[in-house]
Amino acid sequence: MPEYLKELIFLLVGFGLALVAFIAGAWIMYRGKTASGTGEGFLKNPKGEVFTISDGLDEATFPGSEEPSKQEKDILKNTKKFLQVLGGGSDA
């Protein structure tokens, strides 16, 4: 058997194995997504309704917008002392 024919056979076998592994991996991913319900099925419409979450920026309360509590004031005071020891100044 000629040497180039052996190399061609090995190349085709390797390509075939790679193709089988790719198809098997794609099938496993497809089955996993459809079984868990998080992905859309193949040629199926997603179930349920679309909804939106309002931004709510008008009535949002951000942490720190209210007056700090006694514990927070103590933490800030201790932080300022710590930064002064490290040379960070009292701007914090």
* pLDDT in the model for residue 92: 46
Q: Where are the domains of the chain?
A: 1-43
List all residues 6 or more positions away from 90 whose beta carbon is below 8 Å from its beta carbon: 80, 83, 84
Is the model's pTM score more than 0.75? no
Which one-letter amino acid corresponds to residue 73? K
C-alpha–C-alpha distance, residues 35 and 29, integer Å = 10
* Statement: residue 21 has pLDDT above 90: yes
* Percent share of the chain, pLDDT over 90: 36
Q: In terms of pLDDT, which residue wins out, 73 or 63?
A: 73
* pLDDT in the model for residue 42: 54
